Amino acid sequence: MSFRKPLRHFRYMTSEKMQPRVSTLRLARPAIAAIAFAGLVSSAFAATVFQISDAVTSGGGQNVFASDPASTFTGTTSTRLIYNNGTSGSYFVAKFPETVSLTNVGDKITFDWTVAVTNGANSGGQAFRVGLFDVGTATDSNFGTSTGYRADYGTSTNNRGFYERTGSNAGLFTAGAYTQYNVNDYASGDRGSFTRTFATSPVTFSGSFSIELLDAKDRKVRISTVLGTGTVASIIDDASAFTAFNSVAIWIAGAAGTSGLDFSNLTVTLTAAAVPEPAAAAAWLSAGLALAGIMLRKRRQREL
């Protein structure tokens, strides 16, 4: 009986040679994904639109205005903004350097505050109100064409909540210029999220009020608020929502004797969505392909 010798070419069939070859695309995929993600993240940003140190309450460059001549700003510094109200409800408007427009899905404007309220009214559902508006060129009156949203905080259940400025009135916070959102339509939270009492003096509390663009084509926004660590309340406006704002306004109810607002934080921030510009996207893609090429060359060198 005879045996055939093993074919000579079998000696070249090493374990390394029998490993399947990996395509360039497969090698490059993790690198491209990582770099593309980094490019997207780097395109996002948050910018401060207005803060206490920007406030000018009188004279040249004034950008903070009281609605009532009897209400004044005193003791204002780069870290504190103090508003003294009379016995009637009044408000002040802080205007931004330029109009903020929500243009890309995910764009959000947020007003954060910390305030000490002295001698605040402790009745009613609207003792303290905040809003983001486009008031045009108006300062302390003639807000008839202003648009925007507000949130009212207090003790009475019925009047607390979100409002949209749909009408025309010279007074920025005048009730007849607003439509109140039905609490049954809230996306989260309820009127309990707007509870704020002023039984003692001073009362210090923090809060946040924001508007986020959900749909650019149909102009849909989410309006949200939270007081301290409480429950977030939100409502969605999907009927040609307002997306441009050039001011923040704060209203306080009148009380027996003067009441006051002492802000240690009053900050408006714009958070822009992560949308890469075409040139930036091309640069990141080019970098990803270059890295993939390097990876492929290194693999070929190992195979030699």
What's residue 41's pLDDT? Answer: 47
Q: How far is CA 155 from CA 134, 192, 195, in A?
A: 28, 9, 6
Full 3-state SS string of the chain = CCCCCCCHHHHHCCCCCCCCCCCHHHHHHHHHHHHHHHHHHHCCEEEEEECHHHCCCCCCCCCEEECCCCCEECCCCCCCEEEEECCCCEEEEEEEEEEEECCCCCCEEEEEEEEEEECCCCCCCCCEEEEEEECCCCCCCCCCCCEEEEEEEECCCCCCEEEEECCCCCCCCCHHHEEECCHHHCCECCHHHHECCCCCCCEEEEEEEEEEEEECCCCEEEEEEEECCCCCEEEEECCCCCCEEEEEEEEECCCCCCEEEEEEEEEEEEEECCCCCHHHHHHHHHHHHHHHHHHHHHHHHHHC
Q: What digits encode the pLDDT tens for the residues 84-97?
A: 998 888 999 999 99
pLDDT digits (tens, 9 = 90+) for 157-166: 778 999 999 9
Q: Which residue in 76, 87, 30 sits closest to 54, CA to CA? A: 76
Residue range 226-275, pLDDT digits in tens: 999 999 999 999 999 999 999 999 999 887 778 899 999 999 999 998 76
The confidence score (pLDDT) of residue 285 equals: 52
The low-confidence residues of the chain, meaning pLDDT below 70, are: 1-44, 123-124, 275-304
The pLDDT of residue 153 is: 95
Domain 48-68+81-272 fold is Jelly Rolls (2.60.120)
Return the pLDDT at 123: 67
For the chain, what are the domain ranges?
48-68+81-272
User: In the prediction, which pLDDT does 75 show?
Assistant: 85
What pLDDT score was predicted for residue 14? 43
Residue indicated by tokens 């959000």: 108
Q: So what's the pLDDT on residue 25?
A: 46
